[in-house]
Structures are given as structure tokens and as C-alpha cells.
């Protein structure tokens, strides 16, 4: 089934365990806190003394790791995890992370999340300079660059300083050797990364949900451009590079992050709730009920209800078991199966004027089905679509899987055309200004390129 949502590509998790935890089991559990960021591959690498053990494979965490495989990783003092989603359809097995390599002095593993925008140029440069590549992942580029710097005599941290000065893009990644773990966040702070503590262990995770899952206490976000080194002597940090204006991906707050996460000082759930309130002020409409498209539209729907005073109700039930299935129903069946993923509760909807809140419209195909379902099966009198993000008109070059620009509904149609096409009675999107106010308390500025085309970092196409 084509995924109708913009899609995050990866999540990372690292634990440097100076106590006597059972790293592998803690790890396994912790990874459930980032599983929502990537469902195509999963991997864990651990160090034990001078040795590194790992397992990575295509699939969900539950599929990749059996109890005995976790046991095989036991007794280890530190670990690195990765969940991935991969745009490339071919040979993605080789791209599964952590990326493991032997370099001059030792072994290392990298768990990487993001998109290096000058990857092709760097790759070409290294190819011309007699290097080969075995995968198509950015992690291999970073490993290659690191290897080269370290061979010149640099420490790993110094090497990373130089690497970071040469790569542009949005990223956060972890490097683990038998001696230390290093966490890096891009200078624009586009990708989230945060630090926590569990007993005497440091934990680093893409989202704070990765900490919560294992009961680790959130300490702080890793700063844009910061390089944190954790070893048996504790934690050291320095800023490698920084910009006045950071550019955290605003879509993390719209849809990508788990709603219980806190990113750069702002609660994700609160931002989503807030977006509903702003929508209600910007685009009020007279109606009987406010409903959300589960699961991601619910917080904004509650906010809309709160602000407008119109009663919130649940009207669509999500099937929790569809998951990854081979179903590509024949056309005749597709028409019938509109209710496979979502099913309307008729006695909540019938005869009602409904404000239906969703987080975003990408291709528009799902939204169209939902409106049709609300009216034909649910018996809604009116359906007023309210979207808690502005129209998505531009592709992302920073690691979020967006369809071709030509496939984006908002790129092909005016709002009125979209409204007609969806069969809704009215349609409105939150303003970009409004959206940017939603991460209340955020200590960062934002990238909103998918809405306004203002790309904060040059892409190779630009050059």
C-alpha cells in the first residue's frame, strides 16, 4: 500500500553503560521507543571489551530480534541501535545499519539519521580519489571521511570536526568504538537528538520517547553543531560549528515525532493541540462536532474543539491489525474496501455537520476516501476539512520521503480545486505563521521548506 504520509527515515539510539546493566535487553526495549521512525530495517551493535557484535536485518524490531539473538548480544557494556526506512528499493539489506567498519586504529559502528545534501559530490570526490562504496547510505560516506582523517593522526573527535565542516545537510548520528561513543547533531539542528541518563549510563536517542521507554531521565537536547563524547571518564562536549538561525524540521511537530516527545524545549503533543487552536481562530466554521483523523489528527482536533467550543467526538475507528499486508485489492474491491483501515461510527456522524481535522494532505487520495466515507457511510451532513499544516507544495531534500512534486495535491491545485476534489464542504489549512507558533517554548527556529520552498541549506541541485 502506498504510504500517504510524509515518512521519516530513521531513528538512532545509543547507550554507554558504565554500570552493570544488561545492555542488550535494555536496548531491545529502548528501540521500541523509536520504532515509529523506521519500519523497514532494525539493527543493534554492541561492544564487549575490544570486540563488536551486531545483528541487522530487514523488518520490524520484533521480527529481527528473537530472544536468543538478544541473548547472543548479552554481557556488553555499550550499544548502538538503528531503525530504518529506505527510499531505495533495491538491495536495501546492505544499507541496514548500524554501519560497521574497521579503520586504522579500531572498529567503529555508526547509526545515522538524515540526509547529506552534498552526498553525491562527496561520493564522486572519493570515487575519484580511489575509494569505493559498498552501500548507498550516507553512513558510509561519513565512515570513509572519518577513516581518512583518523589515518592522518586525528582523534576521532577532531576527525568529526573536520567531517562536519565538509558535509551539509540535516543529520544526527552516533559513532561507537570500544573506547567511546560520540553523538553528533547537524549545525542547523534539523534533526532532533537528545541526551538522557539511566542509572550510571548515558543514553542518546533521536527522540525523548526512546528515553522514556526504558525509564531514562531526559537531560537535554544535543545542541545544533554539538559533538558529545561519552566514555568511562564521563561526558565531554564541544560545539563544532553553529549558525545563528537554526532550522529544526517543523514537520517533526506536525506528524513525524511521537506525540509524547519533547524536542528542543517544545512538547510535540502541545504543539499539535496548539495548531488546532490556531486553526480554529484562523478558519472558524459553524458545525456540530469536531473530529480528528486517527491517530495523528486527534491532538489538533482536540485543540480546535477547545478553542471553538464545538464538541469533540470520535467518529472514525482505526483498524490496528492492517499493518504491513500484501493487499493490493482489485479495483472493484478497492471501491468496497474503503473501510479497511478506517471505519466511521455512523451514530456519531449521521446528520451532523462535522469539522474533520487532519495533520496534512500529501497526495490527497486518502483524504478523498475519508470525506466520501464520512458522507456516504457515516451519513455526515457536512464535512469541513481543517488541516493542521499548510499545503505541502515542495519536496524535502533533507531526509524526509516526499513524493515527486508533481504528485503533491497542493502543487497541482488551488485550495478551491482541492476542496472540490476531496468532496468536502470547506477546506482550510493553518497558516505557516500560525504553525510556526505551535512549538511553544522552542529554543530553535524552523525549516518550513516543504510549505514555502525556502530551503535553508543548499542542495546539489542548487549548485
Contacting a copy of itself within 51-110 (CB under 8 A): 53-54, 60-62, 66-67, 90-91, 94, 99-104
Does 438 help bind a copy of itself (rule: CB under 8 A)? no
460 contacts: CB under 8 Å, gap ≥ 6 = 117, 118, 119, 120, 121
* Residue from the set 48, 59, 131, 379 that interacts with a copy of itself by CB under 8 A: 131
Q: Which of 10, 76, 447, 450 is catalytic?
A: 10
Stretch that binds a copy of itself, among 177-185, 186-194, 317-325, 445-453 (CB under 8 A): 317-325
- CA–CA gap between residue 370 and residue 291 (Å, rounded): 12
Stretch that binds a copy of itself, among 174-182, 230-238, 340-348, 394-402 (CB under 8 A): 340-348
Judged by CB under 8 A, the number of residues near a copy of itself is: 89
The residue among 385, 345, 338 whose CA lies nearest residue 366 is 338
Nearer to a copy of itself, 315 or 391 (CB): 315
The residue among 247, 269, 266 whose CA lies nearest residue 258 is 269
CB-count exposure of residue 44 (10 Å: 0-12, 13-18, 19+): buried
* Residue from the set 299, 364, 391, 434 that interacts with a copy of itself by CB under 8 A: 299
List the interface residues with a copy of itself, window 185-244 (CB under 8 A): 198, 209, 212-215
Q: Nearest distance from residue 452's CB to a copy of itself, in Å?
A: 28
386 contacts: CB under 8 Å, gap ≥ 6 = 276, 279, 280, 283, 285, 300, 304, 355, 356, 357, 358, 427, 428, 429, 430
- CA–CA gap between residue 52 and residue 121 (Å, rounded): 31
DSSP 64: H
CA atoms within a 13 Å half-sphere pointing along the CA-CB vector of 167: 34
Q: Nearest distance from residue 243's CB to a copy of itself, in Å?
A: 28
Does 260 help bind a copy of itself (rule: CB under 8 A)? yes
The residue among 251, 249, 269, 252 whose CA lies nearest residue 260 is 269
Does 3 help bind a copy of itself (rule: CB under 8 A)? no
Stretch that binds a copy of itself, among 184-192, 321-329, 364-372, 381-389 (CB under 8 A): 321-329
Q: Cβ distance 30 to 213 under 8 Å?
A: yes
* Residue from the set 97, 98, 138, 148 that interacts with a copy of itself by CB under 8 A: 148
Is 447 known to be catalytic?
no
* Residue from the set 87, 239, 281, 329 that interacts with a copy of itself by CB under 8 A: 329
Does 311 help bind a copy of itself (rule: CB under 8 A)? yes
DSSP 406: G
Q: Cβ distance 56 to 19 under 8 Å?
A: no
- CA–CA gap between residue 201 and residue 183 (Å, rounded): 14
Grid cell digits, residue 259:
506525540
List, in sequence order, every residue forming a beta bridge with 100; answer none if it has no partner: 109
Q: Nearest distance from residue 94's CB to a copy of itself, in Å?
A: 8
Q: Nearest distance from residue 107's CB to a copy of itself, in Å?
A: 10
Stretch that binds a copy of itself, among 139-147, 410-418, 429-437, 453-461 (CB under 8 A): 139-147
The residue among 355, 322, 352, 255 whose CA lies nearest residue 295 is 255
Q: Nearest distance from residue 204's CB to a copy of itself, in Å?
A: 17
Stretch that binds a copy of itself, among 187-195, 256-264, 352-360, 363-371 (CB under 8 A): 256-264
Nearer to a copy of itself, 133 or 286 (CB): 133
Does 16 help bind a copy of itself (rule: CB under 8 A)? no
Q: Tell me the catalytic residues.
A: 10
Amino acid at each position: 500500500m502506498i504510504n500517504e504520509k510524509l515518512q521519516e527515515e530513521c531513528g538512532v539510539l545509543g547507550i554507554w553503560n558504565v554500570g552493570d546493566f544488561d545492555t542488550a535487553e535494555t536496548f531491545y526495549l529502548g528501540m521500541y521507543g523509536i520504532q515509529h521512525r523506521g519500519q523497514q530495517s532494525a539493527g543493534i551493535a554492541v561492544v564487549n571489551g575490544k570486540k563488536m557484535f551486531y545483528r541487522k536485518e530487514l523488518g520490524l524490531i520484533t521480527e529481527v530480534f528473537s530472544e536468543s539473538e538478544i541473548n547472543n548480544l548479552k554481557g556488553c557494556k555499550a550499544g548502538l541501535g538503528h531503525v530504518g526506512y529506505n527510499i531505495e528499493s533495491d538491495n536495501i539489506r546492505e544499507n541496514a545499519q548500524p554501519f560497521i567498519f574497521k579503520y586504522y586504529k579500531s572498529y567503529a559502528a555508526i547509526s545515522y539519521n538524515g540526509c547529506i545534501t552534498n552526498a553525491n559530490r562527496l561520493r564522486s570526490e572519493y570515487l575519484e580519489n580511489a575509494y569505493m562504496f559498498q552501500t548507498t547510505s550516507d553512513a558510509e560516506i561519513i565512515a570513509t571521511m572519518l577513516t581518512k582523517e583518523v589515518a592522518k593522526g586525528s582523534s576521532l573527535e577532531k576527525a568529526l570536526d573536520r567531517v562536519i565542516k565538509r558535509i551539509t545537510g540535516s543529520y544526527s548520528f552516533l559513532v561507537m568504538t570500544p573506547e567511546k561513543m560520540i553523538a553528533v547533531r547537524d549545525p542547523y539542528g534539523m534533526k532532533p537528538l537528545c541526551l538522557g541518563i539511566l542509572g550510571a549510563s548515558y543514553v542518546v536517542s533521536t527522540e525523548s520517547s526512546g528515553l522514556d521507554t526504558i525509564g531514562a531521565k531526559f537531560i537535554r537536547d544535543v545542541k545544533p553543531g554539538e559533538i558529545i563524547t561519552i566514555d568511562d571518564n564521563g561526558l565531554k562536549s564541544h560545539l563544532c560549528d553553529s549558525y545563528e538561525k537554526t532550522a529544526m524540521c517543523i514537520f517533526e511537530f506536525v506528524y513525524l515525532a511521537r506525540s509524547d516527545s519533547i524536542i528542543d524545549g517544545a512538547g510535540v503533543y502541545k504543539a499539535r493541540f496548539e495548531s488546532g487552536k490556531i486553526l480554529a481562530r484562523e478558519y472558524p466554521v459553524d458545525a456540530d462536532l469536531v473530529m480528528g483523523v486517527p491517530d495523528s489528527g486527534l491532538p489538533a482536533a482536540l485543540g480546535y474543539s477547545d478553542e471553538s467550543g464545538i464538541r469533540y467526538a470520535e467518529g472514525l475507528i482505526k483498524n490496528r491489525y492492517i499493518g504491513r499486508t500484501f493487499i493490493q485489492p482489485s479495483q472493484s474491491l478497492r471501491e468496497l474496501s474503503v473501510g479497511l483501515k478506517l471505519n466511521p461510527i455512523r451514530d456519531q456522524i449521521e446528520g451532523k455537520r462535522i469539522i474533520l481535522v487532519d495533520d496534512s494532505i500529501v497526495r490527497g487520495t486518502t483524504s478523498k476516501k475519508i470525506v466520501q466515507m464520512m458522507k456516504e457511510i457515516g451519513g455526515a451532513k457536512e464535512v469541513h476539512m481543517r488541516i493542521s499544516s499548510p499545503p505541502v507544495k515542495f519536496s524535502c531534500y533533507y531526509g524526509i520521503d516526499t513524493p515527486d512534486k508533481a504528485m503533491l495535491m497542493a502543487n497541482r491545485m488551488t485550495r478551491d480545486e482541492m476542496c472540490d476534489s476531496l468532496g468536502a464542504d470547506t477546506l482550510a489549512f493553518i497558516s505557516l505563521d500560525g504553525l510556526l507558533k505551535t512549538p511553544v517554548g522552542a529554543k530553535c527556529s524552523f525549516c518550513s521548506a516543504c510549505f514555502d520552498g525556502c530551503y535553508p541549506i543548499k542542495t546539489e541541485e542548487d549548485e
